[in-house]
Amino acid sequence: MSEDQELLEQYKHLLPDDEHTILEGEPKDPEGDGRPRKEIDEAAVIKLAKLGCTSDEIGHIVGLDGSNIRRRYGPLLKAVKSETKSALRRAQLNKAFNGDTAMLIWLGKNWLKQSDSGERLSDDNQVLPWQD
């Protein structure tokens, strides 16, 4: 099985069912049959979403308007982008836990609101309760 086929198989439950998907605002021909649907490389859509491309960028590459990409592939884009963000977080944490000082500092500042001055940048500057 090729890489593209594996991607399509993995995400087939999120791909649109062309029989039931209607792109609003597309012109119809005089006989009322409508124009044929544009063939889209769905594996390319998945790969571009994994790279974090916007729907407008994906649309530009595959030859559709970004709004049509959002309408046809919205759930797919959301799922793939969530997986990519999760993988990125995992990679950042792995770097930090393996001793990457710069990553530890970055995560501390961004996730824990720590600063170089020692001041906490959040509103919860209350003293911790101590029990003796």
pLDDT of residue 24 exceeding 60, the answer is no
Q: Is 2 exposed, middle or buried (0-12, 13-18, 19+ CB in 10 A)?
A: exposed
pLDDT at site 33? 65
Amino acid at 47: K
Higher per-residue confidence, 103 vs 120: 103
- Evaluate whether 50 touches 84 at the Cβ level (below 8 Å): yes
Q: In the chain, what are the domain boundaries?
A: 3-85
pLDDT at site 107? 92
pLDDT at site 98? 95
Q: Is 44 exposed, middle or buried (0-12, 13-18, 19+ CB in 10 A)?
A: middle
Q: Is 30 exposed, middle or buried (0-12, 13-18, 19+ CB in 10 A)?
A: exposed
Per-residue pLDDT tens digits for 25-50: 444 455 556 677 778 888 999 999 99
Per-residue pLDDT tens digits for 53-100: 999 999 999 999 999 999 999 999 999 999 999 999 999 999 999 999
pLDDT at site 118? 62
Q: Which residue in 73, 66, 64, 85 sits closest to 42, CA to CA?
A: 73
- Evaluate whether 46 touches 76 at the Cβ level (below 8 Å): yes
Q: Which residue in 48, 38, 55, 64 sits closest to 11, CA to CA?
A: 48
pLDDT at site 73? 92
Residues 6+ apart with CB under 8 A from 108: 114
